Amino acid sequence: MKKYLRQLSTSFLMSFISFLALHAQTKTELTNVFLGSSGDHGQLSPAASSPFHQMSIAPQTYPTLHMGYEHLAKEILGFTHNRFEGVGCKGSGGLILIKPFLGHQDDGKPLIKEQEKAGPGYYDIALKGRIKVQFAVHENFGIHQYTFPEGEKGLTLDLAHAFNGAFVSNSYTIDKNGIIKGTVRSKTTCGVGVYSIHYAISATSSNLWIGTDNHLTLHLDKQVKKTTLRIAFSAVSPNYAEATLNINSNKTYDQVKTASDNRWESYLMGIIVKGDPDREKLFYSLLYRTLQSPYQINESDGNYRGTDGQVHQSKGRRYHGWAIWDNYKTQLPLLELLYPQQYQNIVSSVSDLYRYGKFDFAGPNEPANSVRTEHAAVVLLDASKKGYDIHLATIRDSLVHDTLRFDFSKPDKYLEAAYDMWAMAGLFQAERKHYLDRASSYRTVWLKEFKDLNRPDVDRMSARNMYQGTIRQYRWNVPFDMQGLVDLAGGKETFTAQLDDFFDHHYFNRANEPDIQSPTSYYGSSKPSRYQSLIRELALDTVIQYYFNDNSRGIDPFIDRIYKNQPKAFIRTMDDDAGAMSGWFILTALGLHQPLIGQPIYYVSVPLFPEIVVQRGEQKLKIKVLNYSDKNSYVKRILLNGKDINRIWIHHEELDKGGLLEIEASAEPSTYGTANIWVSDLKQRD
C-alpha cells in the first residue's frame, strides 16, 4: 500500500510539474510563426520580425509564392529583408537579397534547405553543404549569423531585388570600413505607388564588397567558420540607418534574439487566455499576426517623413504601412482595445495622411510599403468617439476635399461611399444633415441593385463591375443603417429569412472582407441568438465555402475549419490581409465585435476561453464565462462588475473602465437582452 501511495504521489507530482511547465510557457513559445505559410492559405511567412516594424528577414524560396516563402519548398535563392504579410497582389517587398555561397564565386544555383526553425523575432535554417544561417530582428535592426565549413566562401548582395519586378531604383556608397549605406525605392503593394527604405549594412570581414551596380560580392577568408552581417533600416535617411547600425555594432545574435523575444512577449501579453492548450496556441499564433503592421517610421528624435516626402517632427510615435480597407473592422479596433496609448499615435498617423497627402492606395513618396487607406474617415470617427484626439481642426479642409474622390460609380462602391458620408456626418456637426442625406441615398441603389435576389447574376463574383464579391455578399454592407436595411428587405421576418438563406446555403464569402461583418446583422433580425452560435461556428467548426479570393465561385467547395494552426491554414486563396482575418478570430475569442465602426458599441457573444484578461493600459478587463463548455454557444446572462446589465451589447466606456465582465453561457438560445438590442438606424440621425 505504501509503495502504491509512493507511486501515486510520484505520478501526481510528475503530472503537476508537467502542468506547471505547460502553463509556464511564454506566449512567444506558444506562437507558431509557420501558420499560413504554405500555398495560398493566408500569404504569411515565418520571417524574423519585430512588432510594428518593417524589417522582416526570410528565405526567398523557389517557387516564390506571395511572401517570397513557401514552407514546403526546398530551394532557397537567398534571404530578403521586407514583406507586407498577407496582403495579396502576388506579394509585396522582397528587397535586399543576400545569399551565402561556397567556392570562389556564387554558381547561381539555389541553396537546398535541410532544416529550419523559427519563432517571433528569429529564423534559423540549415542548408546543404554545412551552411547554417540564423537571423534575428529587433525594431529596425537585424543580424545575420553564418556558419560555414572551411574553404572558399562568401556572400552575394543583390540591391535591385524585389518581388514581382517592383524595384524602382537604388543608390549607395561604400566607405573605407566596408559599410554600405543607401536608399532603395520600390513599388508598393499592387505596384501602385513608391516607397523608400534607407539602409546601412556591415559585415565582420577584413575584405571589402566588390562588384558593379547593384550586385556585390564579399569573399571571406578560407579559415573563417563564422561571420556576422548587420543591417539597419530607417524611414528617414541613410544617416539614421547608419546610426542605428553603430548603436548595435557590438550586439550578438543571442542578444538581438533575446531583445526581440522580450518585445514580442510584452505585446502578446496584452491578452492572457486560459483554456484548451491547442486553442491557446492557435490564439497566440493569430494574435502575433495582428501585430506586424502598421510600421513605426519615426526616429528617436521625433523626425519622420510624411507622404509629401518631407521630414516632419512629432512628440509621439508615427506609423505607416496601411491596409485600412482590409482591417478597419477588425485589426484596428483590436489594437485600440489592447494598446490604447499606442493607438493614439496610430490615430495621429492616420490623421497625418490628410495633412501631408492621402492616397486611396499609395503615392510617389510613401515612407513605408503600404496598401490601402479607404475608410480612414471611419477610423478617425471611431477613435474620436472613443476619446482619442484626431486633430480634426488641422485636417478639416483635407477631409472635406477627400469626399470629392468618394466613388459612387458601382453598386458596392456606392454602399462604401455612403458609409464614409455617414462618418463625415459624425465628424462635422455643422454639415451633419448634408452628409446624412448623402449617406441615406444608398437606399435607391440598394433597391435597384440588391433587393431582387432572383436575378441571374446575384451569385456571380464581381457581377456589375463590383470588387471581389457578389450581390448577395455586398447587400449586407450597410452597417450604419441596419434598421433601414431591415425595412428595405421587407421587414424583420423577411430579413431574417434572407439571412438564414445566406448562411444556410453558404453564400457567405469568408475568403475576403466584403461581408465580414454580416453575422452581426442577426441582431437586427428576429433571431439574434443565431449571431452568437454563428461566429463560434465560423471560428471553430468545419465550414462549407464556395467563394474564393480569385474572384471565383468554385464548383467544389472548401470543407474544413478556417482557422488551423498549420502552414496550410485558412481557406484556399484567403489572405490574412495585414491581420484582418486573424483579428476577427481574436475578437471572436474575446466575445466582442463592433457591428458599426464609428459607433463605440460591441455586440457580446460567448468567448472561446473560460477566462480572459485584457491588459488594457493601466486598466485590466477580466472576462469570465460562467457554465463554460464548447457546447454552450448562447448568452444566458451578462454581469458587469456583479450587476446584471440585461442587454447583449456593451459600450466602449464600460470596457474602458476595466473590471469584471461575466458571461453566463447556455446550450439553448435565450431571449435575454432581446428587448434592448442596439441596432443602427439613420432615421434616428444619431
Which pLDDT score is estimated for 104? 93
Average pLDDT, the chain: 94
Alpha helices for 357-391 (secondary structure H): 376-385
Q: Look at the block and give the residue holding cell 564579399.
A: 218
The answer on pLDDT for 157 being more than 90 is: yes
Distance from C-alpha of 510 to C-alpha of 513, rounded to nearest angstrom: 7
Among 32-36, 190-194, 640-644, whose mean pLDDT is lowest? 190-194
Tell me: pLDDT of 413 over 90.
yes
**pLDDT tens digits for 344-371?**
999 999 999 999 999 988 999 999 999 9
Measured distance CA(254)–CA(417) in Å, rounded: 50
Starting at the edge strand found earlier in the chain, the sheet holding 592-593 runs 592-593, 601-604, 649-651
Tell me 224's DSSP state.
-
- Lowest-confidence region among 49-58, 86-95, 491-500, 562-571: 86-95
Q: DSSP character for 93? A: B
CB 502 within 8 A of CB 472: yes
Q: How, if at all, do strands 75-82 and 55-62 pair?
A: antiparallel
Q: What pLDDT, in 10s, does the model give residues 41-71? A: 889 999 999 999 999 999 999 987 788 999 9
Helices 376-385 and 331-338: crossing angle in degrees, nearest 10, is 30
What is the DSSP pairing of strand 619-626 with strand 659-666?
parallel
pLDDT tens-digit map of 437-477: 999 999 999 999 999 999 999 999 899 999 889 999 999 99
Once rounded to an integer, what is the mean pLDDT over residues 103-113?
A: 96
Among residues 234, 244, 233, 291, the alpha carbon closest in space to that of 264 is found at 291
Residue in this structure with the C-alpha cell 575584405, named with its chain if needed = 207
Residue 526 to residue 608: CA distance in whole angstroms: 25
Can you give the pLDDT at residue 686?
Answer: 52
DSSP string across 397-441: HHHHHHGGG---SSHHHHHHHHHHHHHHHHH-GGGHHHHHHHHHT
Which pLDDT score is estimated for 180? Answer: 98
Checking DSSP bridges between strand 180-187 and strand 271-274, what pairing results, if any?
unpaired
Q: Is 94 exposed, middle or buried (0-12, 13-18, 19+ CB in 10 A)?
A: buried
| Residue 21 reports pLDDT greater than 50 | no
Say which range, 172-181, 221-230, 299-308, 571-580, has the weakest mean pLDDT.
Answer: 571-580
Confidence grade of residue 488 (pLDDT, cut at 50, 70, 90): very high
Element (H, E) at 123: strand 122-127
Q: Within 10 Å of residue 410's Cβ, how many Cβ atoms? A: 18
Q: Residue 565 is placed in which grid cell?
A: 494552426
pLDDT tens per residue across span 119-139: 999 999 999 999 999 999 999
Grid coordinates belonging to 24: 509556464
Mean pLDDT, range 418-430, rounded to an integer: 97
CB-count burial class (<10 Å; 0-12, 13-18, 19+) for 269: middle
Residue 458: what pLDDT?
95
Question: In which order are the strands placed within the sheet that holds 611-616?
Answer: 271-274, 611-616, 619-626, 659-666, 634-640, 643-644
User: What does the pLDDT average to over 589-603?
Assistant: 98
Beta pairing partners, 441 = none
pLDDT at 553: 83
- Rounded to whole angstroms, how far apart are CA atoms 94 and 166? 9
What's residue 5's pLDDT? 37
According to DSSP, residue 48 is labeled: E
User: pTM for the whole thing?
Assistant: 0.95
Please say if the pLDDT value at position 22 is more than 70. no
For residue 136, give every residue at least 6 positions away whose Cβ sits within 8 Å of its Cβ, in sequence order, or none: 48, 121, 122, 142, 143, 253, 256, 257, 260
Cell numbers linked to 335: 489594437
On whether the CB atoms of residues 330 and 516 are closer than 8 A, the answer is yes
> Which pLDDT band holds residue 24 (cuts at 50, 70, 90)?
low
Reading the block at residue 658, the C-alpha cell is 476595466
Sequence-ordered list of residues with C-beta below 8 angstroms from that of 74, at least 6 positions apart, any chain: 112, 113
Tell me what the mean pLDDT of segment 309-321 comes to.
Answer: 97
Q: Report residue 17's pLDDT band, with 50, 70 and 90 as the boundaries.
A: very low
User: What H or E segment, with its residue span, contains residue 282?
Assistant: helix 277-289
Q: In this predicted structure, what is the pLDDT of residue 9?
A: 43
Residues 142, 132: Cα–Cα separation, whole Å: 17
Judged by DSSP in three states, 151 sits in coil
Stretch 76-99: mean pLDDT: 93
- Confidence at 18, pLDDT banded by 50, 70, 90: very low
Residue 3 has pLDDT above 50, yes or no: no
Instruction: Look up residue 519 and give its DSSP letter.
Output: G
pLDDT tier, 511 (very low <50, low <70, confident <90, very high otherwise): confident
Weakest mean pLDDT among 16-25, 37-46, 179-188, 544-553 = 16-25
**Contact between residue 268 and residue 31 where contact means Cβ atoms under 8 Å apart:** yes
What confidence category does residue 209 fall into, taking pLDDT thresholds of 50, 70 and 90?
very high
Mean pLDDT of 1-8: 40
